[in-house]
Structure 1
Amino acid sequence: MYTAAIGLFVAHGYEPTTMDQIAERADVARATVFNHFSQKVGFLEEWGARRRARVSEILGQEHSEDLPVADRLRRYLREMAELNIALRAETAVLMEASARFGRLLQDPSLETELTRIIDDGVRHDEVRPEVDPHHAGALLAAGYFSGIIRWIGAEPEPFDLPERLDRTLDIVLSGILKAQP
């Protein structure tokens, strides 16, 4: 069902796609779709969750938890950028739909992932003690979403997405990291 929905959203747009079309494409009963996704927006939430899970899986395979906080944050954002680049059409449709119909900026999921990394930096004494990890995570998540929305807003790609996210991270890091001796 998920794959059917994403394919339809990319082909026809999020708003025009109906739950009936998703059921037909997935070859399941309409009720089955509603049993798994009570609203169409559930597919958007699942899409975001799968992307974050994929990035966490990649970073887990690399044992990135052993990296300094700056490198972990950079790797996380880099992998998110690479997923968006690889699936630009999908990203464009689903990010726009998430912004218009979902809870893109209210959903704390990305913020939570980034905050977890910053919390590790606090525990390893890499982050200034006065920095609120939740606020820093929220700031990075907002910078990520702002960059993605601007990036998908024009064809051809208006800027290098990984570089843009790196620059955003550099600005935040210069404000949260302790000075290196």
Structure 2
Amino acid sequence: MKIGDAADAVATAEGGATVSRHERRRRKLHGQLYDAAVGLFVAQGFEATTMDQIAEAADVARATVFNHYSQKIGFLEEWGARRRARVAEILGAEHAEDLPVGDRLRRYLKEMADLNIASRAETTVLMDASARYGRLLQDPSLEVELARIIDNGRRRGEVRTDVDHDQAGALLAACYFSTILRWIREEPAPFDLHQRIDSSLDIILTGLLVSR
């Protein structure tokens, strides 16, 4: 390899791996497309926004958008993935895996709620679009993460051994999404999101029936 070629392949360390200059440029462009799309969705709505408009806003060719996102719903899926990744980053820095399972679930859902509250206008448009046009209730990503936390608690003896952690994760995810959808569909916000999610979690953790 020539010195010039090697210089062009200069990489930055990322988790022990290397990222080429070409890959860094690709990721930067990907982020520009994402930011342009989300800005348009919030400004004029998801349905009204076209791939052509996203290309124009990002100052790229239309084909470039499709090279990164084959469908418009891809932006919605990435929006959800970025939020989950941000919460995982926050909780990882706090070593939340050491918390009791109930506290860990509460912290996870609180951070998700914080993101929604901090960007209510964005959440209103993109969460509603995810429910209408995306795979919000079919995408298992959130329920898998919650199920993992519950399974970890079960392994530590904090959760009943007869509890199906996958089913419990799906129940919590469905409760979370339905709560967010009710919260965004009225203006101003119709209830305290933190309190509502907390109380729903309490019901799921303790059950409905009085112990006999």
- TM-score bin, normalised by smaller chain: over 0.9
Residue 200 of structure 2 corresponds to 168
Inter-partner Cα distance in structure 2 for 1:173 and 1:28: 49
Identity rate of aligned residues, in percent? 75
Alignment of 1:1-181 (within 5 A): 1-175=33-207
Alignment match, 2:14: none
Q: Match of 1:130, SS?
A: coil
CA distance in 2, matches of 1:41, 1:129: 38
2-structure distance, mates of 1:28, 1:119: 45
Structure 1: gaps spanning 5 or more residues:
none
The Cα of 1:27 is off from its aligned counterpart by: 1.1
Q: What secondary structure sits across from 2:174 in the alignment? A: helix
Q: CA deviation at 1:104?
A: 0.4
What is the alpha-carbon distance in structure 1 between the residues aligned to residue 69 and residue 151 of structure 2? 33
Q: How far apart, CA to CA, are the structure 2 residues paired with 1:115 and 1:30?
A: 39
Larger radius of gyration: 2
TM-score (norm: length of structure 1):
0.96
Please give the secondary structure, in 2, of the residue aligned with 1:21.
helix
Return the alpha-carbon distance in structure 2 between the equivalents of residues 59 and 28 of structure 1: 36
How high is the TM-score relative to the length of structure 2?
0.82
Deviation of the 1:98 alpha carbon: 0.3
String of CA shifts for 1:31-56, please: whole Å, max 9, x gaps: 11101100000000000000000000
Aligned residues: 177
What residue identity is the alignment partner of 1:144?
Y
Structure 1 residue ranges (4+ consecutive) displaced by more than 2 angstroms after TM superposition: none
1:28: how far off? Answer: 1.2
* CA apart distance, 1:11: 0.1
Unmatched 5+ stretches in structure 2: 1-32
Aligned mates of 1:142, 1:105 — CA distance in 2: 7
